[in-house]
């Protein structure tokens, strides 16, 4: 459905010293949405710079953490970029004991149209909030089976899947690289709970088993990645974000641009 006009495939972009030049290059490769990583956004003005540096790509922060930037700051950012038509606000809930309540309060105070907001959402209650209070949801570290269930929960709302990928054919090297971000993310309660909901065992999560790694991170050939992207689309995803591991966004984007061409 893709009511936000994100297109079929986007890519995560590193906020590096060359990120504005990289954004223009990735846009030229055909990526219809660029997703600067939320953990690298030290100031919201970087998002303004990205919109101004590009011509056609939608800019979506993945994500703006609500416990770092206030509703007023985020609202001012949106006001500055709303005329461009190329900015969608990706929001992530607070890392607190009651994240749903904190996110609900933030949305109550935020002066941004709901149809220009995407919420990071994994569990049933967050997906309901993404359906009812925003344009849709962003899921990270999920399987196509999760995507199918999320589509059912969201109805016609937007569904974005953020997919870790790595162009690496050696299983040991690929899994070792994948375990670097997973070793932290598996300790975050929301991700851990969702791994268990998706059918992984406590041992899978604690040990970052090959089964878990291979289900959540696509490594291998471009064809392997194309198959996983297609599986998410077939399960109901409107847009898939390729999040490269083990390479810069610009180097990976050059190789992954084949997926953009094949998806059209």
Range of the domain at 250: 9-263
> How do 64-65 and 239-244 pair as beta strands?
unpaired
DSSP state of 87: B
Instruction: Name residues whose C-beta falls within 8 Å of residue 139's C-beta, 6 or more positions apart in sequence.
Output: 120, 121, 122, 146, 147, 150, 159, 160, 161, 162
C-alpha pair distances (Å), 65 with each of 43, 62, 96, 119, 251: 12, 9, 12, 10, 27
| 3-class SS of residue 160 | strand
pLDDT per position as a tens digit, 87-105: 999 999 877 778 899 999 9
Give pLDDT tens digits for 163-212: 999 999 999 999 999 999 999 999 999 999 999 999 999 999 999 999 99
What's the pTM value of the predicted model, to 2 decimals? 0.96
Q: Is residue 138 part of a domain?
A: yes
Q: What is the pLDDT of residue 249?
A: 82
Residue 154 resides in a domain? yes
58 pLDDT exceeds 60?
yes
For residue 1, pLDDT beyond 60: no
Would 2 be classed as within a structural domain?
Answer: no
Query: Which residue(s) pair with 159 in the sheet?
Result: 137
Q: What would the mean pLDDT of 131-160 be, rounded to a whole number?
A: 98
Establish if 219 belongs to a structural domain: yes
> Does 4 fall in a domain?
no
Q: Domain holding 112: CATH number?
A: 3.20.20.30
Contact 35, 47 (CB under 8 A): no
Question: What pLDDT score does 2 carry?
Answer: 65
Q: Does residue 23 have a pLDDT over 90?
A: yes
Whether the CA torsion 134, 126, 44, 75 is positive or negative: it is positive
| Domain tally, the chain | 1
Task: Give domain status of residue 214, yes or no.
Answer: yes
Examine residue 211 and state whether it is found in any structural domain, yes or no: yes
Within a domain: residue 1? no
The mean pLDDT value for 237-261 works out to 88
């Amino acid at each position: 459905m893709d009511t936000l006009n994100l297109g079929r495939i986007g890519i995560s972009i590193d906020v590096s010293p060359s990120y504005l030049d990289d954004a223009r290059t990735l846009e030229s490769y055909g990526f219809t949405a660029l997703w600067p990583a939320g953990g690298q956004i030290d100031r919201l003005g970087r998002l303004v710079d990205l919109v101004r540096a590009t011509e056609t790509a939608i800019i979506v922060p993945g994500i703006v953490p609500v416990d770092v930037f206030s509703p007023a700051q985020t609202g001012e950012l949106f006001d500055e970029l709303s005329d461009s038509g190329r900015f969608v606000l990706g929001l992530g809930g607070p890392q607190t004991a009651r994240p749903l309540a904190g996110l609900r309060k933030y949305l109550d105070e935020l002066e941004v149209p709901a149809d220009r907001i995407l919420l990071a959402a994994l569990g049933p209650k967050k997906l309901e909030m993404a359906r009812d209070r925003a344009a849709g949801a962003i899921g990270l570290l999920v399987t196509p089976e999760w995507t199918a269930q999320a589509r059912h929960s969201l109805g016609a709302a937007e569904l974005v899947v953020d997919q870790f990928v790595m162009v690496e054919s050696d299983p040991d090297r690929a899994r070792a690289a994948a375990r670097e971000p997973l070793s932290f993310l598996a300790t975050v309660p929301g991700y851990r709970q969702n791994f268990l909901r998706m059918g992984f065992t406590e041992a899978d999560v604690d040990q970052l088993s090959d089964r878990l790694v291979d289900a959540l991170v696509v490594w291998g050939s471009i064809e392997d990645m194309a198959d996983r992207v297609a599986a998410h689309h077939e399960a109901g995803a409107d847009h898939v974000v390729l999040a490269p591991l083990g390479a810069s966004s610009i180097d990976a984007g050059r190789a992954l641009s084949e997926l953009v061409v094949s998806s059209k």
